[in-house]
Amino acid sequence: MTHLFFFLTVALYGGATAAYLACLVRTSPLLTRWAGRILVAGFTAHLLSTIHLASKMRYLPLTNMQESLSFFSLAIVGAFIFFERRYKVTTLGSFIIPVALMLLLASSSLHAEVRQLSPVLQSNWFWFHALLAFGSYACFTIAAGVAVVYLIQRYFLKKKHLGALFQRLPSLETMDEISYRCLTVGFPLLTVAIISGSIWSEKAMGSYWIWDPKQTWSLVIWLIYAALLHGRLTIGWRGKRAAILSILGFIVVLFTFFAMKHSIVW
Amino acid sequence: MNIIVVGLSHKTATVEIREKVAFSPNQIEKPLGELLKLEGIIEGVIVSTCNRVEIYATTRDIAGGIARIKRFMAEYHHLQFEAIEPHLYSYHAESAIRHVFRVASSLDSMVVGEPQILGQIKTSYGYAAEFKSSGIILNRFLHKAFSVAKRVRTETKIASSAVSVAFAAVELAKKILGDLSDKTVMLIGAGEMCELAAKHFLNSGAKGVMVTNRTFERAERLAEEFGGEAVPFESFLEHLHRADIVLSSTGAPHCIIGPKDAVEVIKRRRFKPIFFIDIAVPRDIDPKVDDVENAYLFTVDHLQEIVQANLAQRSLEAEKAEEIIEQEIGQFHKWLSTLEVTPTIVALRNHFDEIRRAELDKTIAGWKELPPDAEKRMEALTLAMMNKLLHAPTSALKQSGQGGRVDLYIDALRQLFGLEALQRDDEELELEE
């Protein structure tokens, strides 16, 4: 059952990726509508597969790399669907949906080991922490995608290359707004995630802050986005500088996610 | 029944001639009435815009109908027939359908893809419908033309790009600043293109205008016209940060906005982007302003390039539109041909006969023992009944063949008996323009 949903999800995300990429080279309301529909279908399948897995295992599937990758991808797609509905930015999907597909494919390439859940994970603080962390990561992914598109549009405007691609990509202002929205949602989520993570660490390990690599890098991420948000709110940082910082932040997020082993979880 | 089109347009007549034969739209009842009094003209619609004057009509006598409408156009306006005849074109049958579809889809316009023409035809048709000068054929025909135009609009990009410098500036502003409804435009200097662009910005929802000029009275006058604010030229840099879009066209011999000013303005704007449009020759705004982060400078040459690219794009899209129109002509032509008397009578008889046979077969099959020639008698009985029932409608149809109401009868008959699934594309008529 889980497998069926999972393969369906991969197929639908693949279809959605193709449709969104096609939106970059063709302007067609029909194509736009179908890209959105395929994506929503994929998201539904993904959600069902996750719920099914969770009810079978009796815990949220974010306890190892395989589960986490899939959950990360789910969160990104969910966040994107929200922003696409709100701001009508289809072509943003051409940059974000392939990332979600790749994460999902990476997840499916890892094999799921059947194992006993470590007792340290059996804490509500852990689930709370992990859910919020993925929410904030999804926001930062969208922000980074927006930043890439912003830089492309800025390049077109400065070089006066106002071709078909320029016409299809969203306006600078829209992207600025989305990026700001992502920050104002993602940053508080990350903050609460770090706090709840340290409470969990205290329960599991007896100390709020144990300086394990994951915790340390989370702090780095927090500092980067804090700087970005602070700059924006006080001196009105936006445009190229904010975009570059946002991409940098996302690179650190990916690095932390993939390279930093949690000393307690896996 | 035949559709004919007679008219002239910007392609065949100069504006002097066009305005002489134009019909004033608020007094269209009189010419419509006279049009229908012409011999052999059954339905009529008059379309009169500044670029074209056309009459759509239905008739049984193509050559006569066209000739009479041509004379009517001259006589109604008290013109010499010879003076306008060389400018008139006429179409019938398929070419008439093609012509009207192309006009409605804005393929025959002076600026291909301009959106006004569809609204103008809708208005003209609205009058004709109000005064009942259009009937079943022209009603269906023009609705079809509107839906074809809609298809062309949604399936091709014929009207999606700006083909004037002022419009290109507005489109570009939207790409940089997003929604324009909270944006302010600043006009530096005056000039036709500048004012035109300002009007376009206001029409696209821009919030306000600031005007500055070396002669302050001039600035005040323009500001009043746009409902904006006049700013003294000596201190316009003080107000520049409040503008999101700056249109400059002074006659100044050197630049009046340099990169340092731009840096200062951007800082005061808290890094919100600003869009400079330099229309002046020599330039008003230093090209280095474009190197300032969050400042975007475009000159009139850049805008002109966009317009050229868009025009080229439009002619490509026009080819796709022609293909759509060819498909739709075929469909409409098929419907038109069903409105003939003989095929309708044949279809009606066949329809009745099918029912008769089916019922007869069912009855006979259900009978165990039949008396001799019962089958033959039943056959004769049902046939006689059918013929009697069909006699009155058939002869009514044949007799009405001379008058204009025949199409109405045929269409009603075909629908009542479901003779052919005539696809009714019920696009509601939008007459809001």
* pLDDT reported for residue A259: 81
Q: Does the beta-carbon distance from A172 to B178 stay under 8 Å?
A: yes
Using alpha carbons, select from A138, A150, A134, A43 the residue that is nearest to residue A92: A150
Q: Answer yes or no: is B395 within a domain.
A: yes
**CB proximity list for B102: less than 8 A, separation 6 or greater:** B108, B322, B325
Give the residue numbers in A contacting B (CB under 8 Å), as ranges. Answer: 27, 29, 153, 157-158, 160, 162-163, 166-167, 171-174, 177, 235-241
SS3 per-residue string spanning chain B: CEEEEEEEECCCCCHHHHHHHCCCHHHCHHHHHHHHHCCCEEEEEEEECCCEEEEEEEECCHHHHHHHHHHHHHHHCCCCHHHHHHHCEEEEHHHHHHHHHHHHCCCCCCCCCCCHHHHHHHHHHHHHHHCCCCCHHHHHHHHHHHHHHHHHHHHCCCCCCCCCHHHHHHHHHHHHHCCCCCCEEEEECCCHHHHHHHHHHHHCCCCEEEEEECCHHHHHHHHHHHCCEEEEHHHHHHHHHHCCEEEECCCCCCCCECHHHHHHHHHHCCCCCEEEEECCCCCCECHHHHHCCCEEEEEHHHHHHHHHHHHHHHHHHHHHHHHHHHHHHHHHHHHHHHCCHHHHHHHHHHHHHHHHHHHHHHHHHHCCCCCCCHHHHHHHHHHHHHHHHHHHHHHHHHHHCCCCCHHHHHHHHHHHCCCCCCCCCCCCCCCCC
State pLDDT tens for residues A193-236: 999 989 988 888 788 887 888 888 999 999 999 999 999 988 88
Q: Answer yes or no: is B332 within a domain.
A: no
Q: Same structural domain for residues B216 and B130? A: no
Q: Same structural domain for residues B137 and B275? A: no
User: Which residue does chain B place closest to A27, by CA atoms?
Assistant: B157
* pLDDT reported for residue A266: 44
Question: Which residues in chain B have Cβ-Cβ distances shorter than 8 Å to A238?
Answer: 271-272, 294
* Rounded CA separation A189/B31 (Å): 72
| Nearest-neighbour CA in chain B from A120: distance (Å) | 48
| Nearest-neighbour CA in chain A from B237: distance (Å) | 21
- Domain, as residue range, for B389: 337-366+374-416
Q: Same structural domain for residues B352 and B262? A: no
Beta bridge partner(s), residue B41: B59
**CB proximity list for A161: less than 8 A, separation 6 or greater:** A155
* pLDDT reported for residue A39: 96
Tell whether B210 lies on the interface with A, counting CB pairs under 8 A.
Answer: no
Question: Which residues in chain B have Cβ-Cβ distances shorter than 8 Å to A86?
Answer: none
Q: Same structural domain for residues B19 and B142? A: yes
Question: Phi/psi at B6 (nearest 5 deg)?
Answer: -130, 135
* pLDDT reported for residue B347: 83
Catalytic option among B27, B29, B33, B50: B50
Domain map of chain A by residue range? Answer: 1-117, 122-266
Residue A56's CB is within 10 A of a number of other CB atoms, namely: 11
* pLDDT reported for residue A138: 95
- Burial of B168: CB neighbours in 10 Å, binned 0-12, 13-18, 19+: buried
* pLDDT reported for residue B191: 74
B221 vs B126, B206, B237, CA distance in Å?
40, 19, 20
Q: Answer yes or no: is B433 within a domain.
A: no
State pLDDT tens for residues B299-313: 988 988 888 888 888
* pLDDT reported for residue B403: 57
Question: Which residues in chain B have Cβ-Cβ distances shorter than 8 Å to A172?
Answer: 175-178, 273
* pLDDT reported for residue B422: 40
Q: Does the beta-carbon distance from B298 to A172 stay under 8 Å?
A: no
Question: Which residues in chain A have Cβ-Cβ distances shorter than 8 Å to B157?
Answer: 27
| Nearest-neighbour CA in chain A from B60: distance (Å) | 43
Which of A66-75, A252-261, B217-226, B423-432 has the least mean pLDDT? B423-432
B257: tokens are 């906005």
Q: What is the mean pLDDT of residues B397-426?
A: 67
Q: Same structural domain for residues B65 and B7? A: yes
Using DSSP's 3-state secondary structure scheme, residue A4 falls into helix
Q: Same structural domain for residues B186 and B135? A: no
Average pLDDT, chain A: 89
Q: Does the beta-carbon distance from B290 to A162 stay under 8 Å?
A: no
Which of A110-114, A139-143, A176-180, A254-258 has the least mean pLDDT? A110-114
Question: Which residues in chain B have Cβ-Cβ distances shorter than 8 Å to A236?
Answer: 269-272
Instruction: Decide: B169 and B197 in contact? Cβ < 8 Å.
Output: yes
**CB proximity list for B326: less than 8 A, separation 6 or greater:** B98
Confidence of residue B317 (pLDDT cuts 50, 70, 90): confident
State pLDDT tens for residues B105-154: 999 988 788 888 999 999 999 999 999 899 888 998 999 999 999 999 88
Option in A27, A166, A238 nearest B271 (CB): A238
State pLDDT tens for residues B240-285: 999 999 999 888 888 999 999 999 999 999 899 999 999 887 889 9
* pLDDT reported for residue A112: 66
State pLDDT tens for residues B65-93: 999 999 999 999 999 999 999 999 999 98
Q: Answer yes or no: is B319 within a domain.
A: no
Q: Answer yes or no: is B45 within a domain.
A: yes
* Rounded CA separation B36/B391 (Å): 32
Q: Same structural domain for residues B183 and B144? A: no
* pLDDT reported for residue A116: 67
User: Which residue does chain B place closest to A171, by CA atoms?
Assistant: B175
Using DSSP's 3-state secondary structure scheme, residue A61 falls into coil
* Rounded CA separation B222/B237 (Å): 19
B126: tokens are 């609205």
On the question of pLDDT at A146 being above 80, the answer is: yes
B142 vs B10, B110, B204, CA distance in Å?
22, 21, 31
Instruction: Decide: B260 and B240 in contact? Cβ < 8 Å.
Output: no
Q: Same structural domain for residues B94 and B234? A: no
Using DSSP's 3-state secondary structure scheme, residue A41 falls into helix
Among B155, B190, B223, which residue terminates a domain? B155
Q: Same structural domain for residues B84 and B46? A: yes
A120 vs A66, A68, A217, B138, CA distance in Å?
19, 17, 21, 79
- In which region does residue A112 sit, left (phi positive, over 0), alpha (psi from -120 to 50) or beta (all else)? beta
**CB proximity list for A167: less than 8 A, separation 6 or greater:** A27, B161, B175
* Rounded CA separation B130/B128 (Å): 5
CATH number for position B80: 3.30.460.30
Return the higher-pLDDT residue of B1 and A115: B1
Residue A131's CB is within 10 A of a number of other CB atoms, namely: 17
Among B155, B170, B196, which residue terminates a domain? B155
Confidence of residue B424 (pLDDT cuts 50, 70, 90): very low
* Rounded CA separation A5/A44 (Å): 9
Which of A5-9, A146-150, B30-34, B230-234 has the least mean pLDDT? A5-9
Q: Does the beta-carbon distance from A171 to B176 stay under 8 Å?
A: yes
Q: Same structural domain for residues B50 and B99? A: yes
* pLDDT reported for residue A118: 74
* pLDDT reported for residue B420: 61
* pLDDT reported for residue B46: 95
Question: Phi/psi at B209 (nearest 5 deg)?
Answer: -130, 140
Average pLDDT, chain B: 87
Q: Does the beta-carbon distance from B178 to A153 stay under 8 Å?
A: no
* pLDDT reported for residue A265: 52
Annotated active-site residue B194? The verdict is no
Q: Does the beta-carbon distance from B154 to A239 stay under 8 Å?
A: no
Q: Answer yes or no: is B139 within a domain.
A: yes
On the question of pLDDT at B336 being above 70, the answer is: yes
Rg (CA), chain B: 32
* pLDDT reported for residue A261: 63
Q: Same structural domain for residues B241 and B286? A: yes
- Burial of B45: CB neighbours in 10 Å, binned 0-12, 13-18, 19+: buried
**CB proximity list for B422: less than 8 A, separation 6 or greater:** B335, B338, B411, B414, B415
Tell whether B175 lies on the interface with A, counting CB pairs under 8 A.
Answer: yes
Surface of B (237-276) touching A: CB under 8 A: 269-273
Return the higher-pLDDT residue of A87 and B311: A87
Q: Answer yes or no: is B171 within a domain.
A: no
Option in B175, B270, B302 nearest A235 (CB): B270
Q: Answer yes or no: is B321 within a domain.
A: no
Chain Cα centroid distance, residue A220: 18
On the question of pLDDT at B356 being above 50, the answer is: yes
* Number of compact structural domains in chain B: 3
- Burial of A208: CB neighbours in 10 Å, binned 0-12, 13-18, 19+: middle
Using alpha carbons, select from A264, A255, A133 the residue that is nearest to residue A210: A264
Q: Same structural domain for residues B151 and B7? A: yes
Is the interface score ipTM higher than 0.95?
Answer: no
Question: Which residues in chain B have Cβ-Cβ distances shorter than 8 Å to A173?
Answer: 176-179, 273
Option in A27, A160, A235 nearest B157 (CB): A27
Q: Does the beta-carbon distance from A166 to B175 stay under 8 Å?
A: yes
Question: Which residues in chain B have Cβ-Cβ distances shorter than 8 Å to A158?
Answer: 290, 296
CATH number for position B265: 3.40.50.720
State pLDDT tens for residues A236-248: 888 898 999 999 9
Q: Does the beta-carbon distance from A237 to B271 stay under 8 Å?
A: yes
Surface of B (293-322) touching A: CB under 8 A: 293-294, 296, 298, 302, 305-306, 309
Torsion, CA B36, CA B41, CA B46, CA B51, rounded to 10? -140
On the question of pLDDT at B430 being above 50, the answer is: no
User: Which residue does chain B place closest to A26, by CA atoms?
Assistant: B157
**CB proximity list for B1: less than 8 A, separation 6 or greater:** B42, B58, B59, B60, B137, B336, B339, B340, B406, B407
* Residue at A222: amino acid letter: W
Q: Does the beta-carbon distance from B270 to A236 stay under 8 Å?
A: yes
